[in-house]
Amino acid sequence: LAEQPASSPGVWNRTDHRPLEGFILAMTPFNFTAIAGNLPTAPALCGNTVVWKPSEKQALAAHFTMEVLRAAGLPDGVINLVHGDGAEISEACFDHPDFAGLHFTGSLNVFRGLWGQIGKRIATYRTFPRIVGETGGKDFLVAHPSADVDQLTTALVRGAFEYQGQKCSAASRAYIPRSLWRDLEEPLVAATASLTMGDPADFSTFMGAVIDEGAFRRHAQAIAMAHEDTATSVIAGGTTDDRQGWFVQPTIVRSDDPRHHLMETELFGPILTVHVYDDAEWEHTLDLVDSTSPYALTGAVFATDRLAIDRAMHRLRNAAGNFYINDKPTGAVVGQQPFGGARASGTNDKAGSALNLLRWISPRSVKETLDPPTDHTYPHMWE
């Protein structure tokens, strides 16, 4: 934003980074307190006022985030925290002619619905609203026969089961070559079985409960279907416990069908589906990775063969907005891996980077002529 345009002799050119004319609605998810804080503060940093609607499952964390912002000097009225029904709050904002933008992280269907509501009112707004959204992902890890088994095991366990898989970036589908699977299956199952579950305040636990009963029921149903389906087999985990909290055991499902719904559908929980492919079908497998899911958020390739890495980089260019080589597909760091994806995963405006901030400004180009001309004729007319 500090970069200014070039100026020719006698002219001073500059860019005025103005806030948008109106207010921004920020709608944030339960799963990352940092994301919930980022969505309202990014537009505010650019001079905009914001209505912040947090997830009802994250109300206390949102309250404390506001306390931190106030302690840091945030003036009253810049970010306005509003709890309540999401539909009612969004309707009230969208009905206002000064609505100027939506900053959203949440489900695909909700985002599509909000976009449609804005579109129906487009003629009523003072300016065309900016719409920035990150929805979800069916994030992949594809391994080449040259991949390291120990590295792959760690990446799958961490990528799939950290925070109970409640990340839009979590690894939820994996493609493993048959030659590698013989050495990978046993340590992967053992590592998954070793994960401790319990109170997240106890730092010795690896996993806690899923967010609520609704999530628990969805995951339990998916696991039950995997047990019953002849095309799938549960090779790790596969149990749930709701006696105290909503605990879903980290689960690995093997699917013979690479287009099984467990390979296509975002579950947002600790369920990893694995498809084992023939080593000779590397190219075909890359096609499957690219075409199986409507999402394109994160993905990873594991290989030591440089040609295989380059091929995956090229073939999967549009399959993930955040692409990882020999690393799990989660854990983007602000300022290092700007985060976001396209297709059904959102607008790919890269949260945590200047690219996102640019969405919340309305640039004005200013040209100041230091010595204005006093003759209306042009040099070629002077002969």
Supply the DSSP symbol for 197: B
Q: Where are the alpha helices (DSSP H) in the chain?
A: 33-45, 59-71, 86-94, 108-120, 149-161, 178-193, 213-228, 261-264, 282-292, 306-315, 354-357
Of 134, 162, 185, 266, the catalytic one is 134
Of 93, 168, 185, 266, the catalytic one is 168
Tokens 């019953």 sit on residue: 228
Q: How many helices (H) and strands (E) does the chain have?
A: 11, 18
Three-class SS state of 75:
coil
Token pair, residue 327, equals: 């690393």
Token pair, residue 90, equals: 């969004």
Distance of CA 336 to the CA centre of its chain: 15
Count Cβ atoms below 10 Å from residue 166 Cβ, excluding itself.
19
Token pair, residue 200, equals: 């997240």
Q: 134 catalytic, yes or no?
A: yes
- Determine whether 146 is exposed, middle or buried from the number of CB atoms within 10 Å of its CB (0-12, 13-18, 19+): middle
Token pair, residue 366, equals: 């200013």
Q: 46 catalytic, yes or no?
A: no
Residues acting as catalytic residues: 134, 168
